Chain A
Amino acid sequence: MSDIGARETTPGDQGKAGLGVTQFTLEGRCREREDLVAELARAPGTRLADFFGDVEEGGLVLRLVYAIESGERAYKMLDWPVVGGTYPSVSDLDPAAFVEECEIYEQFGVRPEGDELLNRLVVPPHAGHEFPRLGAAPPREGREPHAPHYVTGEAFEFPFGPVRAVAQESLYMGLVTSGEEVIDLYLLMWHKHRGLERRLRGMSLGKALFLVERAEGLSAVANSWAFCRAAENVLGVVAPEAVERARAIALELERVYNHAAAVAALCQATGLSVGQAQAEIALEELLRVNLAAFGHRYLFGTVAIGTMGRPLDEEVLSRQLPQAYGELRRVIESLWSTNSFMDRLEACGIVTNEQARRLGLVGPVARAAGCDMDTRRDHAFGAYTGSVVNVAVRERGDVLARMQVMAAEAEESVRLIRELARVGPPGDGRADGAGFAAPGQETAAGRGGSALGWCESPRGESLAWLSLDPAGKVRRARLRPGTFRNWRAFDDAARSRNVFTDIPIIEASFWLTVAGFAR
């Protein structure tokens, strides 16, 4: 059992450059910023990873986060103060930004120039002006995210949700169909909005972390690690090496169990009940490995600032993991040779490479569409800086390609866990003289500042941007789980020449959560 502590460094010695986040240095007026945004939208190997609002003393500031993935490989941020209640459209240049523009409108009441209609995201239709938001309410709420469908000829609209099948998250799906073919599909997600970013304001870091991991419990490790990395950067805390290794092990365990759950859901959606039962056996065994290794089936509370919230029992990894993962591998191998299953997956729910890039997708959905990206490799952090991460990429972009990516990733995760566990005896990262920083302990007082943190969740790149006030409380925390990016491709995938019985299959292959989108 590792006894792991936090080590503090002087603030200067691990500055923002240490995490690879720099600010574009641009002192200028709006137009110049617009030129830079246009240039970045064209630049190869540069991707707009996030875009959000932040109310500062001087008014609303929009923050754009770019991931630079050729050459220097870094995240860079661009601040864009809003003057005069509007800003030049970012989505005109970079279509990936449209959902974020809708979000900024809904939360801060500020819209891009032009008259493009913006969609409703998380504010319910019956909500009024006083609905709690991050900033001021817009003069008019966003439109419903679907054009009115005139039911002509054969097509009719099939409403589904928000209460859906057994133990599924609340989600409303509006399905326009001719009886079999999907003509259009739209999703309403406001049912699950809990206002997390708003709740985080003014919280101590310990309490904020508790909510961050509950934003999307199925990515608890990834999201809380991204948040902790941002916090550690602001505080000038460096997590010891043993802590970084244990975190990476937790993150890979999270990936393996999520991919197992996706396989079980795929079997269920295709009606392969024996396969489903076998995949669920693997899933349950993997959750028990999590419990034995870290003390929580879903790894809640594992990541803490500068330390481990739950100690790792490394022995479990060699004792129980091979058997549990073996179950999963056997199911997947059997599935590859089950024609009735494979036939349903092939050419189903296609996301093209062009769509993936244009919409700014991340994770397995993007990798299955030929986007070779993974923050563990491209923006290596923590224990990944010393490891080679083999990234699985497929080209077809269909459900089968996504399942192949997930299968390869689970295999790679188990290999990484073996490698990480072999590196050294537990406890060698013990800090000299530093006390055990328990998760509830507040260490943040006296330092303000902001930083970005990132991580690779089972659903792709997870980002967290954190700004602390001088008292060490959260001034603004932005959470952008991978889920938030990938839902925007779901309707395209569902429309790609599919019959509507394919929708559960596509949903299983995306393996997203509503919780992470609606936050």
Chain B
Amino acid sequence: MALWLFRGLRKGVVTTRYPAVTDPWARGLPTPPAFDERLLSRALADRLVEICPSRALAREDDCLVLDVGACTACGRCISQSAGAARPSRLFELAATGREQLLKRIAIGSGEIVA
């Protein structure tokens, strides 16, 4: 039993200090995509909508709508976006309204305009 008491002492040391401090390992967590609207075209947006396995993307006219709630951060859209999407690195995503998780991204011309 002395063994357990001794081991028990280590317990407090590992506890996160979140939300005061965010643990560094959290940097590696998968996160939903963020988009570079200058690189998005309608055709690319449609392709990403088709690829998403979680129905988290939709296109409404000249907007790509990202549903952060439905997104599983699987990374499929990012790997197929030719640079137009990358991980947002946002993991504090809790929302009090469902619509706050719907993000409308205006589709640009599909090429970078300087």
Contact = CB atoms under 8 A, between A and B. Distances in A.
Interface stretch (B2-10, B37-45, B93-101, B104-112): B2-10
A210 B74 contact: yes
A441 B47 CA distance: 11
B75 to A, nearest CB: 6
A206 B76 contact: yes
B19 interface: no
A337 B3 contact: yes
The B interface is mostly helix, strand or loop, or mixed, namely: helix
Contacts of A274: 4-5, 7-8
Interface stretch (A155-163, A287-295, A444-452, A481-489): A287-295
Interface string B4-25: 1101101100100000000001
Contacts of A259: none
Nearest to A272: B4
Contacts of A281: 10-11, 14
Interface string A271-284: 00011011001001
A210 B53 contact: yes
Interface centre among B11, B29, B51, B53 (most CB of A within 10 A): B53
Given A206-B53, A278-B7, A334-B3, A288 B74 contact: no
Interface centre among B1, B7, B29, B77 (most CB of A within 10 A): B7
A330 interface: yes
B79 interface: yes
A291 B7 contact: no
Interface string A23-41: 0000000000000000000
A277 B29 CA distance: 24
A301 interface: yes
Nearest to A209: B53
Nearest to B78: A438
Interface centre among B3, B29, B54, B74 (most CB of A within 10 A): B74
Nearest to A292: B28
A440 interface: yes
A274 B79 CA distance: 44
B80 interface: yes
Contacts of A382: none
A438 B53 CA distance: 14
A292 to B, nearest CB: 6
A147 B3 CA distance: 48
B39 to A, nearest CB: 17
B69 interface: no
Interface residues of B, number: 23
Given A281-B14, A292-B28, A301-B74, A330 B7 contact: yes
Nearest to B23: A288
B76 A440 contact: yes
A440 B79 contact: yes
A441 B75 CA distance: 12
Contact of B25 (A206, A210, A288, A337): A288
Contacts of A441: 80
A331 B8 CA distance: 11
A438 B8 CA distance: 45
Nearest to B52: A440
A212 B10 CA distance: 39
A301 B75 contact: yes
Nearest to A285: B14
B54 A210 contact: yes
A438 to B, nearest CB: 4
A310 interface: yes
Contacts of A331: 7
A297 B53 CA distance: 20
Contact of A292 (B5, B25, B72, B76): B25
Contacts of A300: 72, 74
Contact of B51 (A296, A330, A337, A440): A440
B4 A338 contact: yes
A497 interface: no
A295 B8 CA distance: 30
A207 interface: yes
Contacts of B75: 295, 301, 309-310, 439
A291 B3 CA distance: 31
Contacts of A284: 14
B79 A439 contact: yes
Contacts of B29: 291, 297
Interface string A421-451: 0000000000000000011110000000000
A330 to B, nearest CB: 7
Interface in A241-289: 274-275, 277-278, 281, 284, 288
A169 B56 CA distance: 26
Given A291-B28, A292-B25, A440 B3 contact: no
Interface of B: 1, 3-5, 7-8, 10-11, 14, 25, 28-30, 51, 53-54, 72, 74-77, 79-80
Closest 7 CB pairs of A and B: A210-B53, A440-B76, A440-B51, A438-B79, A274-B4, A207-B53, A291-B28
22 contacts: A206-B53, A207-B53, A210-B54, A211-B53, A274-B5, A274-B7, A274-B8, A277-B11, A278-B7, A278-B8, A281-B14, A291-B25, A295-B28, A296-B30, A334-B3, A438-B79, A439-B74, A439-B76, A439-B79, A440-B76, A440-B77, A440-B79
Given A211-B53, A334-B3, A334-B4, 5 more contacts: A274-B4, A284-B14, A301-B74, A334-B7, A440-B79
